[in-house]
Amino acid sequence: MKHLYSLAQLMALPYSPPEMVQLAADTGCVAAGVRLLPTTPGGLHYPLMTDAPMLRETLARMNGTGVRILDLEVLRINARFDARAYSAFLEVGAELGARHILVAGDDTDEARLTASFAALCDAAQPFGLTADLEFMPWTQVPDVQAAARVVGGAARPNGGILVDALHFARCGSTLDDVAALRREWLHYGQICDGPIPGPDTVEGLVHAARCERLLPGEGAIDLAGLFARLPGDLPISIEVPSDTRASAMGYLAWAKKAIETARAVLE
């Protein structure tokens, strides 16, 4: 089955949002993801909320190419989270026509995290955005079951769970856990590959996820089994960062290779 393919920001982190839109167009993707908030303090990001010229350029590239924005990164929910602080982020997301917000959970209090996630969903709803909680082994939402508890507890119509192939392979959850997720929680997925077993330290897990993934089909993750448990029409974000290979061969060539291998696995 053919999917809607999007290029995740990590495919070319040094690329600004207009450059990501153009990269998606040049590689035959219909969508791209953009990083408006840092994933770590001081991390590279592109705050279109305060950069009006870059926002205008992004919109112009979108209009010129037909590429749209699939998801916005990265909104982290910690103990001090206040959804009201993200109004400009949500407004820009709506102006971009984005569909989803990638959300990470950092609050050790699951009840408070659930309430904060619900508040985010409520804030995002008027802007036509879903909030998609990504489970990652080193966060406070480490696996499929934890994500399901938070999203189920929040019980919001635009709340969802983002299944990333690498995090699934590292988190200890099973294919049956994925198959049990409610269809309405699944708005898009992320594909890549990696070795099995993976790194045995948090530092190694984080480095592999952010800096050195494998192309679909190169590693040992059961991608066929995983995506068989997900909806067949799910939009796919291609997220295969490689600081070494992408910079060596060029981001355009790397993105084309990632799309080619993703299609070979999924279609």
Could you count the other beta carbons within 10 Å of the beta carbon of residue 248? 10
Q: List domains and CATH numbers for the chain.
A: 5-266 (3.20.20.150)
Q: Return the DSSP state at 235.
A: -
Whether residue 90 contacts residue 124, with contact meaning beta carbons closer than 8 Å, is answered with yes
Distance CA 106, CA 113 (A): 8
Distance CA 16, CA 56 (A): 12
Kindly indicate the confidence band of residue 89, based on its pLDDT and cuts at 50, 70 and 90: very high
pLDDT, averaged across the chain: 97
**Residue 9, both tokens:** 């920001």
The verdict on whether omega for the bond into residue 197 sits within 30 degrees of 0, i.e. cis, is yes
Kindly indicate the confidence band of residue 1, based on its pLDDT and cuts at 50, 70 and 90: low
pLDDT for 2 equals: 77
The pTM for the full model equals 0.96
pLDDT of residue 138 exceeding 80: yes
3-class secondary-structure state, position 73 = strand
Once rounded to an integer, what is the mean pLDDT over residues 161-182?
97
pLDDT for 81 equals: 98
pLDDT tens digits for range 3-43: 899 999 999 999 999 999 999 999 999 999 999 999 999 99
Q: Report the length, in residues, of the chain.
A: 267
Whether residue 218 contacts residue 191, with contact meaning beta carbons closer than 8 Å, is answered with no
Whether residue 230 contacts residue 205, with contact meaning beta carbons closer than 8 Å, is answered with no
pLDDT tens digits for range 231-261: 999 999 999 999 999 999 999 999 999 999 9
- Give, for 5, the enclosing helix (H) or strand (E): strand 5-7
